């Protein structure tokens, strides 16, 4: 996502509809994304955000919108034809 | 596709300096989306700041960036803008930087109606120096220099800007981030001095002292306390208690812009 | 044909700035410097330049730095109280190495003092006014014609070394009118800031690998870079605790201290065989010249050393002078400031004595002559 000097370690979850990426080095564990996710799709693990259940995600983009640290991004995957 | 903030962020600068849960990163992203929405060329943008947490923002952005002295960002920006009136000059400044030490430059930039956009990162506290109260800290709130509750009074920043002559005045919040994109776009597109008072959350030095259990609680407070201006106007006094209007609060399109007035004079002198 | 004019000192300052290519002024009204602003308020709009009267001197100094960063040659003019207000941003311009010229038309006294009277008691402030270690260039003209030429020189030095330059002259010299020959355009060569030759992607705004004065790109020219008042590295980004800060501050100082030959200017009058020297600048330099001539007519071997550059202080020259004369008399419109520098450089090789006057009037030739006579 962000052009770092060396590529940032990124954790990724995806299903047919969506791909969610988290950059652990950017995440400061503020939990805003976890608490504001309307469907509880996210959770914390060792003070870092992670996707608890990708299939709950409704692509509302609240987590990406509210993350202060560029740590989480949500990508709608193109509908399979 | 997820928005590519990397297009505007200087490589290797993340993670940024702001504390866990500080809302500045949210507003920073809104600013980048707003610039992207206008399709502006980064070469044509100067981003100026003073001193404080918010004022570290320019360092992260691949524009012409200038991190100046405490309170003086608008005066530096005025010099940049007068020298290159066709360029975009944007100022980010905290509530203390903009309305305490920077207050004189704030009201004069408004009066002058120079085509600069000021984004006030208003988190009601001096965060960088550890949580002293500021001119926007509400009465009764706690800070390191008001340990028994603030007995001082607060500016209404939009009213101050309106009274001083700014011709585009708006208020947004870090919670209402999508709406903030549009406010910043409209402010930047406005020809004249534009101010956006952006309500922010400082969990580290303000939230903890004022019973906000988490950064998210501070964002949820914004969700409840800030009401679109039209709806706010319909609230009864007790309904309005503890609430504030947001959105475009004041707009004048007829007042001449300072650079246009100045360079208009220059043209007149040529003939 | 050079154009001969009768100009006020402050006007000559404004004309010198225009001659140097100044196309940006930001100021704030303050006696006794306001005529500089008023002259440029008439002239700059006519040439498409920027004239700004800001809300205070702090803002004026900030606007000047902004204007210079956008590629202008920028000037501000003030007097003591305003000069005090400008110090923080003056220091910012020094650390960020942004060229600009600051004129201090010195008036009497501390505080509000004697606004319409001359003074020289800002001179140490011209060196140490802003906090922290920093270089300082301060030029001290004494004649209207010199105000013109020293203002041009101030712009050239400021651009060449990427540092603010102060032009300090007292109220009397600033307000008097004298004959001045305005040189033809091009007669005095003008200097622009060193420009980058590398592409933007390789540009380091504070790269000192090829010399003490890094090339400077102007904002909005495609070299998007960062300027901050925090100590910073070659790329312009903040550097916290690091040896780099120490070496960088030494470089900033060396830009000036290492180029004294190019920066330090002075005038000598009848010093060749002098037994008693007078060290004086500004209006005191003029009274001293008369006093020296009168002393010579009485058979006293007196001479005058008049610095046009007070910072960096002409240490070498004063040290040499102190080895050739018995006494250096230092008339100053202060209670003794520059005399301390003279004494420091004399190192006891000769007597050093100040003449101090702070009642709002200049020191007279008679006062200086009396002290020269005592020196025998």
Answer whether C1-263 and C267-374 agree in fold.
Answer: yes
Architecture of domain B17-270: 3-Layer(aba) Sandwich (3.40)
Instruction: Give the pLDDT of residue A3.
Output: 47
Which of B69, B72, B83 is closest, CB to CB, to C72?
A: B83
* C284-302 average pLDDT score: 98
Residue A2 pLDDT class (50, 70, 90 cuts): very low
Query: What one-character DSSP code corresponds to residue C275?
Result: S
Query: Tell me, what's the ipTM?
Result: 0.96
Taking CA atoms, what residue in C is nearest to B271?
A: C46
Instruction: Give the pLDDT of residue A79.
Output: 67
Instruction: Give the pLDDT of residue B229.
Output: 97
pTM value is: 0.97
Residue C183 pLDDT class (50, 70, 90 cuts): very high
User: 107-136 in B: which are within 8 Å (CB) of C?
Assistant: 108
What are the residue ranges spanned by the domains of chain B? 17-270
CATH number of A11-76: 3.30.70.20
- Close Cβ partners of C300 (under 8 Å, ≥ 6 residues apart): C275, C276, C372, C373, C376
- B97-119: per-residue pLDDT in tens? 999 999 999 999 999 999 999 99
* C301-317 average pLDDT score: 98
Chains that touch C (3 or more CB pairs under 8 A): B
Taking CA atoms, what residue in C is nearest to B102?
A: C59
Alpha-carbon distance C282 to nearest alpha carbon in chain B (angstroms): 32
* B128-135 average pLDDT score: 98
Residue A4 has pLDDT above 60, yes or no: no
- Close Cβ partners of C132 (under 8 Å, ≥ 6 residues apart): C91, C95
Alpha-carbon distance A5 to nearest alpha carbon in chain B (angstroms): 6
Assess B66–C contact: CB distance below 8 Å, yes or no.
Answer: yes
Mean pLDDT of chain C: 97
Chain B residues touching C88 at Cβ < 8 A: 69
CB contact under 8 A, C220 and B87: yes
| Residue B122 burial (C-beta neighbours within 10 Å; 0-12, 13-18, 19+) | buried
Topology of domain C267-374 in CATH is: Rossmann fold (3.40.50)
Assess A35–B contact: CB distance below 8 Å, yes or no.
Answer: yes
Instruction: Give the pLDDT of residue B12.
Output: 93
* C175-189 average pLDDT score: 97
Which of C56, C63, C227 is closest, CB to CB, to B79?
A: C63
Instruction: Give the pLDDT of residue A8.
Output: 87
CB contact under 8 A, A36 and B216: yes
Q: Please state, for a pLDDT cut of 70, what percent of chain B lies above it.
A: 100
Assess C102–B contact: CB distance below 8 Å, yes or no.
Answer: no
* C42-49 average pLDDT score: 98
The C-alpha atoms of residue B177 and residue B5 are separated, in whole angstroms, by 15
CB contact under 8 A, B177 and A74: no
Residue B1 pLDDT class (50, 70, 90 cuts): low
Instruction: Give the pLDDT of residue A1.
Output: 44
CB contact under 8 A, B20 and A5: no
Assess B62–C contact: CB distance below 8 Å, yes or no.
Answer: yes
Mean pLDDT of chain B: 97
Instruction: Give the pLDDT of residue C220.
Output: 98
The C-alpha atoms of residue C40 and residue C27 are separated, in whole angstroms, by 10
The C-alpha atoms of residue B217 and residue C111 are separated, in whole angstroms, by 51
- C272-283: per-residue pLDDT in tens? 999 999 999 999
What are the residue ranges spanned by the domains of chain C? 1-263, 267-374
Chain B residues touching C219 at Cβ < 8 A: 46, 64, 66, 80, 84, 87
Taking CA atoms, what residue in B is nearest to A67?
A: B26
Taking CA atoms, what residue in B is nearest to A76?
A: B1
The C-alpha atoms of residue C68 and residue C52 are separated, in whole angstroms, by 13
Taking CA atoms, what residue in C is nearest to B64?
A: C224
- C134-167: per-residue pLDDT in tens? 999 999 999 999 999 999 999 999 999 999 999 9
Alpha-carbon distance C148 to nearest alpha carbon in chain B (angstroms): 24
Alpha-carbon distance C139 to nearest alpha carbon in chain B (angstroms): 25
Assess C206–B contact: CB distance below 8 Å, yes or no.
Answer: no
CATH number of C1-263: 3.40.50.970
- Type and span of the H or E element at C307: strand C302-307
- Close Cβ partners of A68 (under 8 Å, ≥ 6 residues apart): A28, A30, A32, B18, B21, B22, B23, B24, B25, B26, B28, B29
């Amino acid at each position: 996502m962000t052009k770092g000097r060396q590529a940032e370690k990124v954790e990724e979850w995806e299903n047919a509809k969506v791909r969610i990426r988290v950059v652990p080095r950017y995440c400061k564990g503020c939990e805003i994304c976890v608490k504001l996710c309307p469907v509880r799709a996210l959770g914390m693990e060792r003070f870092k955000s992670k996707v608890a259940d990708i299939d709950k995600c409704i692509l509302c983009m609240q987590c990406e919108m509210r993350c202060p640290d560029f740590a989480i991004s949500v990508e709608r995957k193109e509908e399979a034809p | 596709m997820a928005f590519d903030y990397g297009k505007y962020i200087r490589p290797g600068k993340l993670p940024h300096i702001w504390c866990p849960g500080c809302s500045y990163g949210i507003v920073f992203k809104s600013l980048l989306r707003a610039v992207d929405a206008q399709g502006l060329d980064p070469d044509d943008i100067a981003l100026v700041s003073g001193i404080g947490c918010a004022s570290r923002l320019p360092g992260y952005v691949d524009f012409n960036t200038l991190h100046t002295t405490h309170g003086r960002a608008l005066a530096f920006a005025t010099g940049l803008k007068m020298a290159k009136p066709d360029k975009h000059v944007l100022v980010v400044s905290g509530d203390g930087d903009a309305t305490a030490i920077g207050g004189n430059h704030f009201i004069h930039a408004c009066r002058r109606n120079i085509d600069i956009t000021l984004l006030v990162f208003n988190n009601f506290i001096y965060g960088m120096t550890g949580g002293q109260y500021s001119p926007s800290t509400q009465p009764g709130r706690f800070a390191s220099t008001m340990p028994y509750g603030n007995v001082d009074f607060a500016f209404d920043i939009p009213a101050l800007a309106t009274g001083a002559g700014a011709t585009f005045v708006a208020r947004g919040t870090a919670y209402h981030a999508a709406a903030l994109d549009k406010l910043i776009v409209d402010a930047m597109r406005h020809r004249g001095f534009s101010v956006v008072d952006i309500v922010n959350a400082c969990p580290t030095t303000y939230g903890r002292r004022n019973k906000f259990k988490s950064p998210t609680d501070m964002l949820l407070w914004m969700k409840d306390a800030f009401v679109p201006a039209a709806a706010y106007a319909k609230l009864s006094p007790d309904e309005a208690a503890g609430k504030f209007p947001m959105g475009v609060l004041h707009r004048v399109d007829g007042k001449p812009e300072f650079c246009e007035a100045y360079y208009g004079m220059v043209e007149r002198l040529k003939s | 044909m050079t154009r001969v004019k009768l100009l006020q000192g402050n006007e000559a300052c404004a004309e010198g700035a225009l001659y140097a290519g100044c196309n940006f002024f930001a100021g704030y009204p303050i006696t006794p410097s306001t005529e500089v602003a008023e002259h440029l308020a008439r002239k700059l709009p006519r040439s498409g330049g920027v004239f700004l009267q800001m809300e205070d001197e702090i803002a004026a100094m900030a606007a000047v730095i902004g204007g210079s960063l956008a590629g202008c040659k920028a000037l501000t003019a003030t007097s003591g109280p305003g000069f005090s207000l400008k110090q923080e941003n003056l220091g910012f311009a020094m650390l960020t190495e942004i060229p600009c010229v600051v004129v201090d038309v010195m008036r009497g006294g501390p505080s509000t003092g004697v606004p319409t009277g001359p003074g020289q008691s800002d001179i140490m402030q011209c060196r140490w006014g802003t906090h922290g270690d920093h270089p300082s260039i301060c030029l001290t003209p004494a004649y209207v014609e010199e105000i013109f030429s020293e203002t041009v020189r101030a712009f050239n030095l400021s651009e060449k070394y990427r540092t603010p330059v102060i032009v300090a002259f007292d109220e009397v010299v600033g307000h008097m009118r004298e004959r001045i020959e305005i040189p033809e355009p091009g007669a005095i060569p003008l200097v622009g800031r060193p420009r980058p030759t590398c592409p933007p992607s390789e540009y380091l705004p504070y790269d000192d690998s090829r010399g003490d004065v890094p090339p400077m790109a102007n904002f909005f020219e495609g070299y998007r870079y960062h300027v901050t008042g925090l100590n910073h590295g070659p790329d312009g980004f903040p550097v916290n605790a690091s040896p780099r800060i120490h070496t960088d501050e030494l470089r900033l100082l060396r830009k000036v201290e290492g180029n004294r030959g190019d920066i330090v200017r002075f005038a000598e009058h009848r010093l060749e065989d002098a037994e008693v020297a007078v060290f004086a600048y500004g209006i005191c330099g003029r009274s001293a010249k008369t006093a020296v001539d009168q002393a010579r007519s009485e058979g006293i071997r007196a001479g005058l050393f008049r610095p046009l550059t007070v910072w960096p202080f002409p240490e070498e020259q004063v040290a040499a002078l102190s080895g050739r004369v018995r006494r250096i008399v230092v008339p100053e419109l202060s209670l003794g400031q520059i005399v301390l520098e003279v004494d420091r450089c004399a190192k006891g090789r000769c007597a050093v004595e100040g003449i101090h006057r702070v009642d709002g009037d200049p020191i007279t030739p008679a006062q200086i002559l009396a002290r020269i006579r005592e020196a025998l």
